[in-house]
Structure 1
Amino acid sequence: MSMNNKQRWMGGVVLLGGGVLLAALLLKGKEEIHQNQVTPPSSAATASQQGKATPVEESVQLQPMTVDVATEKRLLEEQRRAREKAVAEQEAKAAEFLRMQQQAEAEAARKAAEEYAAANARRKAAQESSDNIPPELNVDDKTKAQLKAETDKKQQQQKQAQQKAEAEKKLAEQKRQATVDAAKKAADEKKRQAEEAQKKAEADKKAEADKKAAEDKKRKLEEQRKAEEKKVADEKKRKADEAKKKAEADKARDLLENGDKQWMVQVALAANEANADAVAAKLRAKGYKVTKSPTSKGIRIMVGPAKDRETADATRKKINSDASLGMKSAWVIDWVPLDKR
């Protein structure tokens, strides 16, 4: 290790010296370049001063000044080339120095690697020689106790870690199962509510249909009842009208057959039964005895009978003169029923 440190120290010294030399070369080249840049303007200034000092000989010195400018350009070009050459030489020296420095570093690294390999070989040999000694000779009771305690501690830690992992796994499984159960319960509740809603909708629909059917049935029964009542009423009215007509006919026949000759006052000839009933109602309201008799031209409305023509004619005049009746065309007839003619 001491040899390796010495080599490293030498390498550092070499690097430091090379850096100083490189800096000196660069500084020297920079000063030369600066000096060469400053010199030409001074010569140009001198020439300018000379030109100003002899204004009278300006035309005579024109040709020599042209030659001096060309010479100055040549000198400047030579100086530029010299500077470039000096810079190139300095760069070459710096490159050579860097190459030497790299070689020194490589040599130092090689030697250090060789020393490190030799040290590893020695350490390995020493380890191999110590491996032949039985372990029980190298480890005392205290060390054994420490090793056992450390082993027990590691086993206990592993056991605790395993128990903790199992507990966390069990807790995670319980949480997952609880989540699954909650989701299943929510799904079942949602399904139950949907089924109840569907059943309620079906029940409402059925109840509405039953209600409508009951209303239709009730309406039909009511219509049927009204139709039957109307039919019964019409039949009753028809029978009453027939009985009334028959009674009037029988009465008129009885008057003609059993009494003396009968005289009637014909008031009007109605086109239908309704008109005949209206006229008869007016006459009955005045206290007249009315008889109706159907003919081929209509229904004959008559008042009477009277025992003689004079009585019938008096009745005719009375009816014609009654403005409330509006019957001014009544006349007296000798009436005989159709079945007796």
Structure 2
Amino acid sequence: MSMNNKQRWMGGVVLLGGGVLLAALLLKGKEEIYQNNHSAPEKAALVEPQKPVAEGEMVQLQPLTVDVETEKRLLEEQRRGREKAVAEQEARAAEFLVMQQQAEADAARKAAEEYAALNAHRLGAQQSSDNIPPELIEDEKAKQKRLAEEKLSAEKKLQQQQTQKQNTEANQKLAEDKRIAEEKRKADAAKKLAEQKAIEKKALEKKVADEKAKEAESKRKATEQKELERKEAEKKKAQTQEAAAKKKAEAEKARDLLENGEKQWMVQVALAANEANADAVASKLRAKGYKVTKSPTSKGIRIMVGPSKDRDAADAARKKINTDDGLNMKSAWVIEWVPLDKR
């Protein structure tokens, strides 16, 4: 038996077996449908038959063992069962048909491969025989060589196309990666620049605020200093005016006493080096009830008590001052007083 006939025989066996199996499945489905259709009369036969009724005898009704609703429910369940069984059988039949078609395709493919191999072997055997002219053999070799070259060229072209496609995809990916990196770099640079500008703006605002605060503080201090200096100047001016007015009053008082009265004798108590010491001594004497006169000289400020009416009265005042332990002035003496403008 040749290889081709063997393959055909195997394909026929497969087809026959599939047909038998499919027919068995269909018959089984029909039997189940038939049994389901004839099950209802059998259930109806389960009802107990009634006995014949004699004439004149009362008919006694027998209750049905299955009510109408239950019967309907059972019939509906049977119908659904039949439909499910038919659907399952059809699905199995379709699955088997697919398997059968696949087996037929595999068998046909294998038979075609074996047939092609057999023809190639037969062709090779014929070419090797001496009956084939040399020019046909050469033409066949040239044809085979041309086919091989065309196949190689096609493979090279396909490989080049694949390589070119891969290179193009790689270049595109590289360009895309480069573009993404450039965009990221620009975004990072923009973000960094924005942050730097924000920092510089914040620093500038802080600097301006510090300068304004410093300027305000400087102005405040300058204003306070000016106000302090003004108050100090006013105070010194007031003190100077007060001292000048006091000196003028004392001088006028002394001049009035010496020029307009007969009191020409004074008791000189001390000679102070400055105005403060003179004021201290004069305060002590005034506290004791004495009339005090101050007169500046080239050696200091002269502190005097009086004037008195005569020398005796002045001498009595001197003794009293010298003996007063509260004053502690032991060096008082009597002088004849002459105002400066009359000397």
* TM-score, normalised relative to structure 1: 0.48
Whichever of the two has the greater Rg, that structure is 1
Structure ranking higher in helix proportion:
1
